[in-house]
Structure 1
Amino acid sequence: MVRGLYTSASGMLVAQQLADTVANNLANVNTNGFKQTLLEIQSAPTLDVYRLQTDPGPRTGKNALPGVPVAAPVGQLGTGAWVYDTPETFSQGPLQATGNPYDLALGGTNAFFNVQTPQGVRYTRDGQFTVNPNGNLVTMDGNFVLGQNGPIQVQQQQGAVTVGPDGTVSQNGITIDRLALTRFNNIVDLRKQGNNLFVDTGNAQPQATAGATVIQGSLEKSNSNVVRSMVDLIVAERWFDSNSKSVKMQDQATQLAIQDVGTTA
């Protein structure tokens, strides 16, 4: 009975984490450059269940002992599940034209803007940038957008800023810098760090990218699939409910067993 409680409880924990993950995906459906998170669920090892019974048929061999019960297979017993991993899906989100010269989108999936944060260089697909009072190109959180020569700086009153498809930033026909863009050989090893930023866990193998297409005046929207998320939310609710009922039933069975022992004693 105790094993059954743990098995059902593990199912409730998985269902709760699935619901939390899906809710976060839905909450960020309008977040620029957001990449939805998936859950990889792993089943715990199963147990082989046997039943002792008397073998009615003839038995031969060195272990043949007439009248001695034998173990007959009944089936397998599940022992629960756990969340194995929570990878992001890096598929391209839809592009939306804004006309804002500081809004930038990246074509393709394996390229990221480099931004300087207090914790170090981080990576993002959110290209909604602006210019701070010092002329630095920054994210909406104030982090510096990096070029090949460091933080990109423009002269706000010196004409329009243009960004070419290769990331070259120019003003009045004069090249200022080129956006620092990074691709990863093992993109699945990137992890979210909040504020739409990604961090290399140490195995993503970052490399300076060439050939990434920068689209000025557009933003990449979230790649969250609303329909799938709603279905997953219903599934998580049903998982949690069924496992919760199982826990209650096993708890009641345990109470009855304790009462019977007390009565017998």
Structure 2
Amino acid sequence: MVGLKRPAAPTITRAVERGLYIAASGMLAELVRQDLIANDIANLSTPGYKPDRASQRSFADVMLSNTRDGEAVGPLGLGSVIARRTTDFSPAPLRETGEPLDFAIEGEGFFAIRTPQGVRYTRNGQFQRAADGTLVDGLGNAVLGKDGAPVRVGGDGRVDPRRLATVRLDRPRKLGDGYVAGAVAGNGGAVRAGALEASATNPARAMVDMIASLRAYEASQRVITTIDQTLERTATQVAAVPGQ
């Protein structure tokens, strides 16, 4: 019977190290997904909130071949990475609040807000009256009217919703604090007073996605533990074989 030659220790080490990097890339990708999902869950009650999605892609595959005869074995993936993050800006259902300074947009438009960084846009129409009588958002920034000036609240504590500026944006992108930026592409939809747009986060889907991501993370973690044990055996056993 012809004995099989034991592979050299460096070859085994390179193989298990490659698996270590593949598993680690999967863990990093799942950490990004979990951060996005956690942020979506935290904004379940934020009016006009839009959830984020992360899409993954794999690194280029490496073709493996038999070192003895050169016969192709097949491709080996080198892990995954977050390719891009996208935001679903689809309108969510509107709910009546009865509050005179709550506003919701019927359509895909955005309210215009004047901030210290310039004009920003939002779907969150939960506004209030400032000390100077102007309409402001939750951060105290002025809500703009169709004339480009801050909207003033009437003596009866109300604002005609037709005075509020709404715009439609081309390729909107999140900036933080509920604000959005983008090129103005036209007028937005009609404004309804005494209503707010609900958060677009689906709590059931968010929890399912979080559990799936956590299990994928744990699976990669178990792979790393197994690889670590393999490396330890390689260092203590394979390298000690006579003639290696």
Q: TM-score, normalised by structure 2?
A: 0.86
Alignment RMSD? 1.8
Distance 1:216 1:157 in 2: 17
Mark the runs of 5 or more structure 1 residues left unpaired by the alignment: 54-68, 170-178
Alignment-mate amino acid for residue 196 of structure 1: G
User: How many positions carry a matched residue from both structures?
Assistant: 227
| Preserved contact between residue 104 and residue 192 of structure 2 (Cα < 8 Å) | yes
**Does residue 42 of the first structure (1) align with residue 57 of the second (2)?**
yes
Return the offset for 1:149.
Answer: 2.6
Q: Which residue of 1 aligns with 2:185?
A: 207
Q: Which residue of 1 aligns with 2:152?
A: 154
Partner of 1:45, secondary structure, is coil
Mark the runs of 5 or more structure 2 residues left unpaired by the alignment: 1-15
C-alpha spacing 1:160/1:92, structure 2 compared with 1 (3 Å) = closer
**Does residue 236 of the first structure (1) align with residue 213 of the second (2)?**
yes
Return the offset for 1:76.
Answer: 1.6
Q: Which residue of 2 aligns with 1:191?
A: 173
Residue-by-residue CA offset, 1:19-40 (whole Å, 9 max, x unaligned): 1111111111110000000111
Alignment-mate amino acid for residue 179 of structure 2: L
Distance 1:131 1:16 in 2: 40
Partner of 2:144, secondary structure, is strand
Aligned counterpart for 2:32 among listed residues 7, 12, 17: 17
Residue-by-residue CA offset, 1:218-256 (whole Å, 9 max, x unaligned): 100101111111111111111101100111111111122
Distance 1:159 1:259 in 2: 79
Q: Which residue of 1 aligns with 2:3?
A: none
* Larger helix fraction of residues: 2
Residue-by-residue CA offset, 1:5-64 (whole Å, 9 max, x unaligned): 1110000011111111111111111100000001111111111112245xxxxxxxxxxx
Distance 1:85 1:38 in 2: 8
Overall identity of the aligned pairs, in %: 35
Return the offset for 1:195.
Answer: 1.6
Distance 1:223 1:32 in 2: 9
Alignment-mate amino acid for residue 2 of structure 1: E
Return the offset for 1:156.
Answer: 4.2
Q: Which residue of 2 aligns with 1:182?
A: 167
Partner of 1:14, secondary structure, is helix
Alignment-mate amino acid for residue 117 of structure 2: Q
| Preserved contact between residue 142 and residue 151 of structure 2 (Cα < 8 Å) | no
Alignment-mate amino acid for residue 137 of structure 1: L
Aligned counterpart for 1:224 among listed residues 190, 201, 223: 201
Aligned counterpart for 1:144 among listed residues 127, 142, 145: 142
Q: Which residue of 2 aligns with 1:72?
A: 71
Alignment-mate amino acid for residue 243 of structure 1: S
Residue-by-residue CA offset, 1:45-88 (whole Å, 9 max, x unaligned): 111112245xxxxxxxxxxxxxxx3x222222110011111110
Q: Which residue of 2 aligns with 1:119?
A: 117
C-alpha spacing 1:191/1:131, structure 2 compared with 1 (3 Å) = same
C-alpha spacing 1:245/1:24, structure 2 compared with 1 (3 Å) = same
Residue-by-residue CA offset, 1:127-162 (whole Å, 9 max, x unaligned): 011110111111011011112333334254367432
Distance 2:157 2:64 in 1: 77
Distance 1:159 1:96 in 2: 21
Q: TM-score, normalised by structure 1?
A: 0.80
Partner of 2:66, secondary structure, is strand
Alignment-mate amino acid for residue 148 of structure 2: G
Return the offset for 1:96.
Answer: 0.8
| Preserved contact between residue 136 and residue 153 of structure 1 (Cα < 8 Å) | yes
Alignment-mate amino acid for residue 78 of structure 2: T
